[in-house]
Amino acid sequence: SNGGRVALAIKLRADNDFYSQIAALKDRGLDLTPSNLAALEPFLPCPKDATGKLVVNKTGMGSSAALVTSLVGALLTFFGAISISEPTGDVVKQQEGLRLAHNLAQISHCYAQGKVGSGFDVSAAVYGSHVYTRFSKTIIHPFLESLSSANEGEALQLTGTLSRDLVRLVDDSDRAWDCTVHPVALPPGLELLMADVCGGSESPSMARKILDWKRSKRRTGFMDDYYWKDLKRVNAKIVKLLTTTFKEQTFLDGLERDGPVILSTRTAEQWKKPMPSSWHEFEGSSWDVALKLLDLRMSILEARQNLKGMGNAASVPVEPAEQSLLANETMKLPGVVAAGVPGAGGYDALFVVYVEGPRTNDGSSDHVRDSICSLWKRISEENSATTVCPLSVRASGIDSGLRASDVEW
């Protein structure tokens, strides 16, 4: 404070998983493993090239949305507009704070990107793991147009009218925002592993090209229309499995009992083969749990086929051949339920859903996770054009999302 004026200092830091750390690990002579990644100094800066320019290689985890959302949440909390610090406190007050943070973060992110996207990445940053239905573009588009017109070629300024419009839009007293959020999470015993993949050449604006194809170039033929309809059906089935089938107590008990010692030691192909009679005598047996996991596996495979099909039709590498090979090889390992390309697709990331095996590395990993990482290490060593680095991020529960925490800078 100087002469009654207050300066607010803001320091932005990004978790290492948001940006590729392959170069950082190689520079330190370390193998590309989750444990080595977790041992790196937190919030590493992006490297620079010979000219001093920042080299920004994202891992596709929604870094821009996370940055905007966390900054908006921090400012709203600092000025007392919302309270999100205690998840176990006033639930109504907490949810109201998240709603306001979500609305302002969506507007801010769309303005920064110059377009109104789906909003899923911001919503995920606010609410954590969930099934999302986007908001109508017309809710914020008129305000963004007015804001852009008033600030052409200048630093962003909010006039009195625009400021009042923004407050009304964020406050949303008439509940015009029509997006929906339904919490979803993997059950205990199933885990997620993400990979930073460095290989091939990225095709920019893939999601935009797919949407353009859908809007103006999609033929009315059977297969073109089939991809969208079937993807919607399969996605609904995956949601039902996660929110209903995998919440049944018999399934949870069976997965806890037999997941680490039986299912994690067998491949999905072996799950299909005849098993000892004791495995399938009751609901929640190893056989019963395996069949339900195979249902999820087949659903994710169907989703991949539809995404790859529409990508081919639109001449967009949603799931390139290199990524298909990597995902399919990973799916052959014991304990692996499914693998695929996340988000809008492309060359730079991979996800794996697997059954947790016996714990390793002082409890920080497990046998299945270790075997996946070993496969990726071997593939990276055998193919100089592809480097696969496991990320340390894990599946989050339904209570994840925007929250206040004490971080030692």
pLDDT digits (tens, 9 = 90+) for 333-345: 999 999 999 877 8
Q: Mind listing the pLDDT tens digit for each residue in 365-404?
A: 999 999 999 999 999 999 888 899 999 888 876 678 898 8
Neighbouring residues of 34: CB distance < 8 A, sequence distance ≥ 6: 364, 365, 369, 373, 390, 391, 392
Contact (CB, 8 A) for 326 and 388? yes
Pairing of strands 130-133, 180-183: antiparallel
- Write out pLDDT tens, residues 73-117: 999 999 999 988 665 567 888 899 999 999 999 999 999 988 898
Q: Which residue has the tokens 């900054």?
A: 71
Query: SS3 for 390?
Result: strand
Q: Supply 200's token pair.
A: 């091939």
Answer whether 124's CB lies under 8 Å from 132's CB: yes
Q: Of 42-56, 203-217, 258-272, 278-292, which gets the smallest average pLDDT?
A: 203-217
Q: Give the chain's radius of gyration (CA, Å).
A: 23
Q: Which residues pair with 54 in a beta bridge?
A: 48
Residue 156: per-residue pLDDT: 78
Residues 6+ apart with CB under 8 A from 184: 129, 130, 131, 239, 242, 243, 398
Task: Give the span between the Cα atoms of 58 and 204, in whole angstroms.
Answer: 13
C-alpha span between 221 and 209 (Å, rounded):
19
Instruction: Give the alpha-carbon dihedral of 104, 107, 111, 116, to 10 degrees.
Output: 160
- Give the pLDDT confidence score for residue 88 in this predicted structure: 59
Position 356 pLDDT exceeds 80: yes
Percent residues over pLDDT 90 in the chain? 59
Residues 169-182 have pLDDT tens digits of: 999 999 999 999 99
Residue 222 banded pLDDT, cuts 50, 70, 90: low
What is the per-residue pLDDT for 3?
A: 62
pLDDT at 225 over 80: no
